[in-house]
Structure 1
Amino acid sequence: MRTTSHGLGSRAAAALGMMALAATGLSLAATAQAADLANIDTGATGSILIHKHEAGSQSANGTPDGQTTTGGDPVEGVVFTAYRITNLDLTTQAAWDGLADVAVPADACGSDNRSPQLGSYTFDTGTASAATDASGETSINPLPVAAYLVCETSAPSTVKTAAAPFLVTIPFPNNAANTASADGNWLYDVNVYPKNVVVEAPTKGVNVTANGLNTDDQVSFPVTAKVPSIADTDSFKYFVVSDPLDSSLSDGNVASVKLNGSDVDASYYTVTTGQTVSVGFNRAGLAYLKTQPNAQIEVVFTAKTGTVPSGGIIENTATLYVDTTPGDTPDEPPVTPPDEPGTPTNKVVTSWGDARVSKVDADNSKALQGATFQVYNAADPYATSCDNAVKVGDPIAVNGATEFTSDGDGLVFIAGLFVDQKAGAATDESVAPEHTQRCYVLVETAAPAGYVLPSDADTPLTVTAGVTAAADYDLSVPNTKQNVPQLPLTGANGALLMMLLGVAFVMIGVGRAFVSRSKNPAASQD
């Protein structure tokens, strides 16, 4: 029994083993079949891999699978948010029907880029990415199977135009209808390449070439800006560089417009002069700029300083206005500042001061009228002390005059002279020049009638930024009266003269007596 039973048991075991092996084979076949299914894995999660570049800077188009090297200038610091469409179930055929025909308008993310609105779709609160890194890359994950509206929700100030909102499905159908690198598989990690028009803040300099008030083109303001790179399908809507001048400045003009150091054809832009001076590119100019991505454009504005403000400091900031539009360049783009916010330059300042000089009599300090002066630059304008200032160059013109004459109060008034200048950094809210005073040399060229012109007529003059109070003087310059021959009115010479006159009168009297006796015979006989 046991032996029989043992034999039966062996056959049964063998049969059971074969059955188990067959069952295992069926299981493996079923697993392989399931793995090869092309259907969407509704339980999977995916991600949106974001590659952020400046518009128009990529050398090639990206692909959803991320296998193409696109190149391009990365944009750092941009945050995206993916809003899941909650009333669209991608596990159903109905959800996919017509999805490819959904048009996403530019304002689909709302005015704040955080309030998605797209037809009858509803959205969740969104999943945000980290800010793009120095390579312009970030991601949003994990994301369940769904359709998402992706919005650019935060960007640095250099980003002028936010990336257009777009739809992404997880998974993405990587087929020939959607991408040239199709492999027919669903992509659960989808690469996207949203682009920005990046406007870097323009920079501004300052240079004073004439140190006296009201000299034409005496202050120049070079403004340098980078031409943004834009998409082939876009055009510039406008490109204007403008400089609104402070009330102490006037006669704004444009000295030059250059691109990468070469003059720009004047037919490409319009110059507007006056209190607000600007350069605005016309239709042909905008088309030209589109062909010059990342080029450096420099506009040099000029002005003259008309008055000295009470504090002496004149501030100046220019603004770059640039925007893009889909399609062709507008027929008549604005060539003056549009009613849109622009990108300001750093702040620059110049400082100025007047000079009040008192001309007096050296003996009694009374005012002297009619003394004439000229003013010169000093060889060391920012010396610790101006006491040893030495003149250089030609006389300085102020309000068109190079000579200044003392008036009836003995006042020699020089309306305004340059003190210092400074270009601040982009982050500086307030800018102050390094020096608050500057050395000049005052030269007396003619003394009032009856007074001596000093042998050394050069007098150091310290000009402080700001306006000198009417009752005060920056300097007092005395004059000495002319010398004349000494009058013989006192002393030994006067006594001798009186003695000689007395002797003469006595001699005249004696002479008359002798004459009288000679004419009287009776007197002679006696």
Structure 2
Amino acid sequence: MPKTDAAGTATISLPLGFYQVCETDAPASIVDIAPPFLLTVPMPHEKGWVYDVHAYPKNGETSVTKDIKAQEGFGLGAPVQFPVTNTIPRMEATTWTGYALRDTVDPRLTPNAATTGISSVTVDGVALDSSYYTKTIEGQTITMNFTQAGLDWLNADPSKAGQKIEVVFDTIITEVGNGTITNDADLWVNNPTFDPEGENPPIPSNEVKTYWGNAELIKRATGTTGNQGLLKGAEFEIYAAVDPYAATCDAAVAAGNAISINGTTTFTSNENGVISFPGLFVSDSENPVQNSEYRCYVIREIKAPAGYVLPDNADTAITVTVGQTTTTAHPEIVNTQQEVPELPLTGAAGKVLLTLGGVSAAAIVVGLMLVNRRRTHSA
């Protein structure tokens, strides 16, 4: 027979007879082919005969969907988590021999060893019995693979078809690179050896993206330019903005606590006056604002370099764009040198004032001594 068209229909002319129909090929998303069935041409129907016979064999179809959890940590070293969801397909003609979800992550992401790369496995929102699956990390590949107990659980009750299994892959961002990190996952059904060329090749998910950038600023003394007046030793914190995707970041206001980047929240200008914030979250392809090219942050100076004072407004709004690594988009942050305290009076006038002060003090002391002596004599 010809292949089914977009409407799932295939038509063929047959002579009168008795036939067995077998499905011999199916799209990649089909995990359970229709079992063979019998039909006759014509077929009896309501005390008559039907010569245009319609048959409706059914397949067990599945798909896998990938998402990104809304980002909570905004600096390098923060978790980046990818929920992957699969609806358990109907399996009537086939027995479950393998079920796995696998994610090979970008080299800029490191599988989280603390969770063996998977933070949770649930079925319709309820935690799945941990004896039903294993979690493994091999290089950049994280795998959730059903054990025999899990396969028995699937085979025991066909009504599980339609329930949603969600696996949350858990990684940590360690590098930014060009700022765009893509990710997808694979569903492996009845392919326990993970043979991509086997009878049941993996079913890929959609692709998702997470975007990151860097920030660098220059610290200098007021009134200097170029390589002059660059200040070492100024300390800063960086904060998320109340409105991270405002039309412009010029008026950004700090929100929440200081952001941690690779375990630190304090960043110090180097001998060239450069303050570096390596690796800041910008956006992703799944959460608002999707695929934004920039995000607003606020820099706060918490300690001025030696000999300088903090500016009246220690907060500076900045814009971080995807993959940015230069200082050109950021303002320079300046400090004013501490004022030198006034020196004591010197010269003739100063000497006269100091002399008069000394004489007055001596007269007071002599007076106190005479009063004390008279009191003693009287006693």
TM-score, scaled relative to structure 2: 0.78
- Given that residues 296 and 319 in structure 2 are in contact (C-alpha distance below 8 angstroms), is that contact kept between their aligned partners in structure 1? yes
Q: Deviations over 1:205-246 (max 9, x none)?
A: 34211001113xx21111111001111x53112111111111
- Given that residues 32 and 91 in structure 2 are in contact (C-alpha distance below 8 angstroms), is that contact kept between their aligned partners in structure 1? no
1:465, distance to aligned residue in structure 2 (A): 1.1
- Given that residues 32 and 94 in structure 2 are in contact (C-alpha distance below 8 angstroms), is that contact kept between their aligned partners in structure 1? no
CA distance in 1, matches of 2:72, 2:153: 33
State the superposition RMSD in angstroms.
3.2
Q: 2:333 aligns with which of 477, 486, 501?
A: 477
Asked if residue 245 in structure 1 is aligned to residue 105 in structure 2, the reply is: yes
Q: Taking structure 1 as reference, are residues 203 and 434 closer, same or farther at Cα in structure 2, changes over 3 Å only?
A: closer
Q: 2:183 aligns with which of 316, 330, 348?
A: 316
Counterpart residue identity of residue 438, structure 1: R
Asked if residue 265 in structure 1 is aligned to residue 129 in structure 2, the reply is: yes
CA distance in 2, matches of 1:466, 1:379: 22
CA distance in 2, matches of 1:315, 1:406: 33
Q: 1:392 aligns with which of 255, 263, 282?
A: 255
Q: Deviations over 1:237-272 (max 9, x none)?
A: 211111111111112411111111111000000011
1:153, distance to aligned residue in structure 2 (A): 6.7
The 5-angstrom pairing of residues 67-466 of structure 1 reads: 81=1, 128=2, 131=5, 133=7, 140-146=11-17, 150=21, 152=23, 155-163=26-34, 170=41, 194-215=57-78, 218-231=79-92, 234-252=94-112, 253-273=117-137, 275-290=140-155, 291=157, 292-310=160-178, 312-323=179-190, 333=192, 337-339=194-196, 340=198, 341-365=201-225, 366-423=229-286, 433-466=290-323
Q: Deviations over 1:121-162 (max 9, x none)?
A: xxxxxxx486485xx7x5745421356564547755532344
Q: Deviations over 1:467-523 (max 9, x none)?
A: 324x756331111100012458xxxx88866999xxxxxxxxxxxxxxxxxxxxxxx
Task: Point out where structure 1 has 5 or more consecutive residues left out of the alignment.
Answer: 1-80, 82-127, 175-180, 325-332, 425-431, 501-526
CA distance in 2, matches of 1:467, 1:191: 61
Q: What is the SS of the residue equivalent to 2:90?
A: coil
CA distance in 1, matches of 2:190, 2:60: 8
Structure showing greater Rg:
1
CA distance in 1, matches of 2:10, 2:350: 120
Q: Taking structure 1 as reference, are residues 355 and 162 closer, same or farther at Cα in structure 2, changes over 3 Å only?
A: same
Structure 2 equivalent of residue 103 of structure 1: none
1:190, distance to aligned residue in structure 2 (A): 6.0
- Given that residues 376 and 441 in structure 1 are in contact (C-alpha distance below 8 angstroms), is that contact kept between their aligned partners in structure 2? yes
1:163, distance to aligned residue in structure 2 (A): 3.5
Structure 2 equivalent of residue 43 of structure 1: none
Q: What is the SS of the residue equivalent to 1:367?
A: coil
Q: Deviations over 1:265-298 (max 9, x none)?
A: 0000001135211211011101212321111111
- Given that residues 358 and 473 in structure 1 are in contact (C-alpha distance below 8 angstroms), is that contact kept between their aligned partners in structure 2? no
Counterpart residue identity of residue 239, structure 2: Y
CA distance in 2, matches of 1:352, 1:360: 27
Q: What is the SS of the residue equivalent to 2:311?
A: coil
1:351, distance to aligned residue in structure 2 (A): 0.7
Counterpart residue identity of residue 200, structure 1: S
Q: Taking structure 1 as reference, are residues 139 and 399 closer, same or farther at Cα in structure 2, changes over 3 Å only?
A: closer
Q: Taking structure 1 as reference, are residues 447 and 129 closer, same or farther at Cα in structure 2, changes over 3 Å only?
A: closer
1:167, distance to aligned residue in structure 2 (A): 6.9
CA distance in 2, matches of 1:282, 1:442: 50
Q: What is the SS of the residue equivalent to 2:219?
A: strand
1:320, distance to aligned residue in structure 2 (A): 1.1
1:387, distance to aligned residue in structure 2 (A): 1.4
CA distance in 2, matches of 1:254, 1:362: 51
Q: What is the SS of the residue equivalent to 1:207?
A: coil
CA distance in 2, matches of 1:364, 1:307: 34
- Given that residues 66 and 184 in structure 2 are in contact (C-alpha distance below 8 angstroms), is that contact kept between their aligned partners in structure 1? no
Q: Taking structure 1 as reference, are residues 286 and 302 closer, same or farther at Cα in structure 2, changes over 3 Å only?
A: same
Q: Which has the higher contact order (CA 8 A, sep 6+)?
A: 2
- Given that residues 390 and 441 in structure 1 are in contact (C-alpha distance below 8 angstroms), is that contact kept between their aligned partners in structure 2? yes
Task: Point out where structure 2 has 5 or more consecutive residues left out of the alignment.
Answer: 353-379
Counterpart residue identity of residue 226, structure 1: T
The 5-angstrom pairing of residues 50-61 of structure 1 reads: none
Q: What is the SS of the residue equivalent to 1:369?
A: coil
CA distance in 1, matches of 2:350, 2:170: 78
Counterpart residue identity of residue 297, structure 2: Y
Q: Taking structure 1 as reference, are residues 267 and 371 closer, same or farther at Cα in structure 2, changes over 3 Å only?
A: same
CA distance in 2, matches of 1:379, 1:223: 30
